[in-house]
Copies of this chain bind each other. A is one copy, B any other.
Amino acid sequence: MTVRAAVAGASGYAGGELLRLLLTHPEVEIGALTGNSNAGQRLGALQPHLLPLADRVLQETTADVLAGHDVVFLALPHGQSAAVAEQLGPDVLVVDMGADFRLKDAADWEQFYGSPHAGTWPYGLPELPGARAALEGSKRIAVPGCYPTAASLALFPAYAAGLAETEAVIVAASGTSGAGKTPKPHLLGSEVMGSMSPYGVGGGHRHTPEMIQNLSAAAGERVSVSFTPTLAPMPRGILATCSAKAHEGVTGESVRAAYDKAFADEPFVHLLPEGQWPATASVHGSNAVQVQVAFDAAAHRIIAISAIDNLTKGTAGGAVQSMNLALGLPEELGLSTIGVAP
C-alpha cells in the first residue's frame, strides 16, 4: 500500500515534525504541502532541516490543492479544521492536529475556546483503554494535545486500576516549540534561555478539560485536574509530574503492578526500571514515552512522571501512529523509539 498524504500547515513546527516522520515512513508518499502566509515559498527556507524537501514550494490551503490524497493532515490554527475537513469528503482520512475535535462536551469546548463546538472525532491516543478500537478504520482522527498526551499516559493506569482519589495535580514543563513559531516577545531566545516560568495557571489552560476527559474515562467517575504548565528553556520535550492521593490500602507494590499491566504490551510506552527516572532528552525526536511511578507513603500519594517529545509523540508522531491504525498498517510503522541524545 502506498498512501499519498497532504499536509496543510507545513511551515509550522507541527507540520515540520510531521514531514520529518513521513519522509521515512515506508508506505507514505508526500503530496501537497500548504501554508498560508508562506504560500509560494521554498520549504528549504522555512524548514531548513528537511533537506530532501528543500525545493518543494508551499501552496495555498484550498480544497483543490488538498484533493486527490488518501490522507490529509491538518496543522492549522484552532477553529479552521472543520471547514477544510468538510470539503475533503468522507472517504479521505483526515487527521486533525488541532484541538477542534478533541472534546466530547460542547460546553467545555465553548468555555475554553470561546466558539461553537465543531464535533468530536475518534481520539488519537491509542494507549488509552478502548481507544484503538475507535481508531481502526476511522476516517477522522483528533490528535490529542501534547500536555494531555503526557499527563494522561502518566496517570490513567492509577485511575483505571482504582488506586487514586479523583483529584489530580499536574505540573508540566514544556519546551518552547509547544508555543509555536509565531514570534512573540516572551518566546524570544533571550527571554526563555535561563528561565522557567508558568502560564495559564489556575485552571485556564485549554488542555485541562482534555485531561479531565481522559482521566475521568479511565476512572469511571469525574476526576478534577489542577494543571499548571510551565515553559522550560529547551526547544522540545514535556516532563509531566502528576500525582493524586492514593486510596486507603494502596501500596507501592499495587501501584507498580497497575503500571506494569497497563503498559506491558505497549510499543511506545516504556515503564522504566525502578529507580530510573524519565528525562526529556531520552525521547528527543522519538515517539517513545518514558514513565516512572512512585508511591510516597508519607504523603500517601501516587506520583507518576512521564517524558515525551511534545512534537513527536505529543503531536506528529501520535498523528502517524493513529493514521497507521486507521489505515490498517502496523501501528509502529515509520515511528521510532530511539531518541537523539545527548
Partner of A201, one of B184, B208, B284, B292: B292
Partner of A296, one of B20, B202, B276: B202
Inter-chain contacts of A273 with B (CB < 8 A) = 42, 44
Q: Which of A2-10, A77-85, A173-181 is found at the contact surface with chain B?
A: A173-181
Return A101 CB to nearest CB of chain B, in Å: 23
The reply to whether the CB of A30 lies closer than 8 angstroms to some CB of chain B is no
With A52-B337, A195-B280 already in contact, the answer to whether A245 and B167 are too (CB < 8 A) is: yes
Q: Mark A145-167, 1 if CB is under 8 A from B, else 0.
A: 00000000000000000000001
Cross-chain contact A198 with B295 (CB below 8 angstroms): no
**Known A226-B243, A299-B167; contact A184-B183, beta-carbon cutoff 8 A:** yes
Q: When the two chains form their complex, are residues A239 and B198 in contact, meaning their CB atoms are under 8 A apart?
A: yes
Contact of A196 among B177, B190, B194, B234 (CB under 8 A): B234
A305 & B23 in contact (Cβ 8 Å cutoff) = no
With both beta carbons as reference points, the residue of chain B lying nearest to A341 in the complex is identified as: B49
Separation of A336 and B272 alpha carbons in the complex (Å): 29
Interface presence of A324 (CB below 8 A):
no
Q: Chain B residues with Cβ under 8 A from A202's Cβ?
A: 294-296, 303
- Does A50 reach chain B (CB closer than 8 Å)? yes
**Residue pair B191, A236 in contact (C-beta under 8 Å):** no
Decide: A48 near B279, CB < 8 A? Known: A176-B193, A234-B196.
yes
Given B49, B192, B279, B297, which contacts A203 in the complex, CB threshold below 8 Å? Answer: B297
B23 touches A201 (CB 8 A): no
Interface string of A221-244 (1 = CB under 8 A from B): 000111010101111110101010
Known: A189-B189, A297-B203. A232 touches B282 (CB 8 A): no
Task: Tell me the minimal C-beta distance from A117 to chain B in angstroms.
Answer: 19
A339 at the interface (CB under 8 A from B): yes
Collect the chain B residues with CB atoms within 8 Å of residue A276's CB: 44-45, 48
A288 at the B interface (CB under 8 A) = yes
Complex formed: what's the CA distance from A195 to B234 in Å? Answer: 7
Complex: chain B residue closest to A175, CB-CB: B190
Chain B residues positioned under 8 Å from A243 (CB to CB): 169, 226, 228
- Contact indicator A198/B277 (Cβ below 8 Å): yes
A173 near B299 with CB under 8 A, answer no
Q: Which chain B residue shows the least CB distance to A228?
A: B241
Residue A13 lies at the interface, judged by CB distance under 8 Å to chain B: yes
Q: Which residues of B contact A13 (CB under 8 A)?
A: 190, 342
Residue A319, interface by CB 8 Å: no
**Distance (whole angstroms) from the CB of A26 to the closest CB of chain B:** 11
Are B44's CB and A303's CB within 8 A?
A: no
Contact pattern, A 5-47, Cβ under 8 Å of B = 1, otherwise 0 = 0000000010010001001100000000000000000101101
Apart from A171-B241, A183-B185, A189-B189, list 5 A-B contacts with CB within 8 A: A24-B338, A177-B342, A191-B281, A197-B279, A201-B277
Q: List 28 A-B contacts (CB under 8 A).
A: A47-B341, A49-B282, A49-B339, A50-B338, A167-B245, A169-B301, A173-B196, A187-B188, A187-B190, A190-B342, A191-B281, A193-B233, A194-B234, A194-B235, A194-B280, A195-B279, A196-B232, A197-B307, A198-B305, A201-B296, A202-B294, A203-B299, A208-B298, A226-B303, A228-B243, A235-B341, A284-B340, A340-B340
